[in-house]
Amino acid sequence: MYDKEKDQADAVCQLQTLLLLNKKDEAMELMNNSNMLLWIQQTPFLGKIIHCAVALNDRKIVEAFLLKLPASAEAKNVIMSTPIYTAIEQGKFEMAQILLNKNVDLTNVNAHGNNIAHALVRYDDPFVEKCITLLRMTKDNLLDQQNLLGETPLHLACLYGNIRNVQLLLDSHVSIIKKTRSGKKAQDYAIEADNSSQIISLLQNCHPHRVSKSGSFTNLLGIKVPKFLKKEECD
């Protein structure tokens, strides 16, 4: 039994190696082996392979996985991130859109306490606004959620100096007074940005005691809201 399990694990590792070497045709040939799909499901490597394919921006492999192994859309890696988090973290927005089209869960929080909003705010891309719009519709206050260091997405948007995303978050009524575990507010993070004066001005023009709210929101972008994000309207 041990030898059989080892052979299966070796085959799955071979698939990952082919992906890393950008040998896509050989990887697809291995994927088309009916036993390979079974082996992937029987070993703890499903998350490892799908996250690898997503990070490498390999659309063909990712779509093959989603078609043949639908569970791969939510498969977590060693830090409990889902594939869409990995796609966003790596700036692979085509991959992220493919996963979003599969109605994946956007509310997952990984082992570091980060949700996808923490990864989104680093980038300037239309996909960022689309996801922030969707996250506004949750009742979980994901746009205002703190990670294990106490950082909110606003802290990180300020650190990265991303004015557009800072404004998007402020328009979503996130708190500007939440502090990290080391006692720093978003404005303290903004000091590190190249365009700190502009960001600090945005923060200072907000009411200091505004808090996050998840009230009704009109979807002006025409985005179809996934079922798991729908909630009752709040007063």
Handedness of CA 107, 165, 131, 74 (dihedral sign): negative
- What pLDDT shows up at residue 84? 98
- What pLDDT shows up at residue 215? 35
- What pLDDT shows up at residue 3? 61
Cα Dmax for the chain = 66
CATH classification at residue 131: 1.25.40.20
List pLDDT tens digits, range 22-66. Answer: 888 888 888 877 677 777 777 777 888 899 999 999 898 899 889
- Backbone φ and ψ for 233, nearest 5 degrees, come out as -70, 145
List pLDDT tens digits, range 175-232. Answer: 999 999 999 999 999 999 989 999 999 999 875 544 444 333 333 333 344 544 443 3
Burial class (CB in 10 A: 0-12, 13-18, 19+), 130: middle
- For residues 64 and 115, what is the distance between their CA atoms, to the nearest angstrom? 26
Indicate if 4 and 57 belong to the same structural domain: yes
User: Which residue in the block uniquely carries the two structure tokens 């985005």?
Assistant: 223
pLDDT surpasses 50 at 233: no
- For residues 211 and 229, what is the distance between their CA atoms, to the nearest angstrom? 21
Residue 31 lies in a domain: yes
Choose the final residue of a domain: 105, 138, 168.
105
Residue 220 lies in a domain: no
Indicate if 70 and 15 belong to the same structural domain: yes
Residue 212 lies in a domain: no
- For residues 55 and 95, what is the distance between their CA atoms, to the nearest angstrom? 9
Among 25, 27, 23, 29, smallest CA distance to 50 is for 27
- For residues 147 and 54, what is the distance between their CA atoms, to the nearest angstrom? 24
Residue 219 lies in a domain: no
- For residues 180 and 152, what is the distance between their CA atoms, to the nearest angstrom? 8
User: What is the rounded average pLDDT for all residues in the chain?
Assistant: 84
Indicate if 95 and 187 belong to the same structural domain: no
Residue 232 lies in a domain: no
- Backbone φ and ψ for 132, nearest 5 degrees, come out as -60, -35
Indicate if 97 and 3 belong to the same structural domain: yes
Choose the final residue of a domain: 105, 126, 144.
105
Number of domains the chain contains: 2
C-alpha distance across the termini of the chain, in Å? 60
- For residues 131 and 115, what is the distance between their CA atoms, to the nearest angstrom? 12
Cβ–Cβ under 8 Å, residues 29 and 19: no
Residue 224 lies in a domain: no
Indicate if 32 and 119 belong to the same structural domain: no
Rama region for 190: left / alpha / beta (φ>0; ψ in -120 to 50; rest): alpha
Residue 160 lies in a domain: yes
Residue 8 lies in a domain: yes
Indicate if 55 and 143 belong to the same structural domain: no
Domain holding 95, by residue range, is 1-105
